[in-house]
């Protein structure tokens, strides 16, 4: 399976939105590639409804969604139609899932991404999430057990933090939320330490030489 910083494994797959070639079809975009154990299952249904309801929010962040399970495209389509026509959850109803869902009956993609974990199941994928940047590098890996639904707002928060790091070269502290102060990278030379301790900058506050914060530009 790929690790953080590795190239995301490439694949061609049949999906509910036609054949996709990854990463070629997603050049210049962030991607959330996620697996679910099976169609017509309750936790997965709530996840897909939530992801689908947030798709435009992610697109505004130049981020696309791709789902996957070890089911046929026909099963995917039947399940997604049932969600749209029948299921209401937390005020969401008539939810149309427009992002592609990969058919992976031979487990080709799932195995490339370590989504099959035998001690959990040999026939179903775990709830894996790979956040992949516009250069097709893996930037975040999350794994959840089959019994636990994912927090989509946390996934969105991670994407925002990763994009902020990519554009502003800052880090985000514990429990960071958009608009909170961000961390300025610490100096890595003695001269840099002296310079940091000897200067002040509006909007910046230092708790010590190695931990300085500044206002988030996107407040």
Name the burial class of residue 199, with classes exposed (0-12), middle (13-18) and buried (19+) by CB atoms within 10 angstroms of its CB. exposed
Of 4, 97, 11, 10, the closest CA to residue 46 belongs to 97
CA distance 136 to 15: 20
Please identify every residue annotated as catalytic. 44
Of 155, 156, 150, the closest CA to residue 47 belongs to 150
Q: Which two tokens stand for residue 213?
A: 């914060």
Was 59 annotated as part of a binding site?
A: no
CB-based contact 68:17 (threshold 8 Å): no
Pick out the residues of the known binding site: 127
Pick out the residues of the known binding site for substrate: 127
């Amino acid at each position: 399976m790929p690790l953080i910083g590795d190239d995301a494994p490439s694949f061609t797959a049949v999906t509910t939105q036609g054949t996709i070639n990854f990463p070629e079809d997603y050049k210049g975009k962030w991607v959330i590639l996620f697996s679910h154990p099976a169609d017509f299952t309750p936790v997965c249904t709530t996840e897909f409804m939530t992801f689908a309801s947030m798709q435009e929010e992610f697109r505004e962040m130049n981020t696309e969604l791709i789902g996957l399970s070890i089911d046929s495209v026909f099963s995917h389509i039947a399940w997604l139609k049932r969600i749209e026509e029948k299921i209401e959850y937390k005020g969401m109803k008539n939810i149309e899932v427009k992002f592609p869902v990969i058919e992976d009956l031979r487990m080709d993609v799932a195995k490339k991404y370590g989504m099959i974990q035998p001690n959990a199941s040999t026939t179903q994928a775990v709830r894996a999430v790979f956040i992949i940047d516009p250069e097709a590098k893996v930037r975040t890996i999350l794994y959840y057990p089959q019994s636990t639904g994912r927090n989509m707002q946390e996934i969105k928060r991670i994407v925002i933090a990763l994009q902020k790091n990519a554009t502003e070269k800052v880090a985000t502290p514990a429990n960071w939320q958009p608009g909170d102060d961000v961390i300025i990278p610490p100096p890595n030379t003695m001269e840099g330490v002296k310079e940091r301790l000897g200067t002040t900058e509006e909007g910046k506050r230092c708790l010590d030489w190695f931990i300085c914060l500044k206002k988030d530009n996107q407040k």
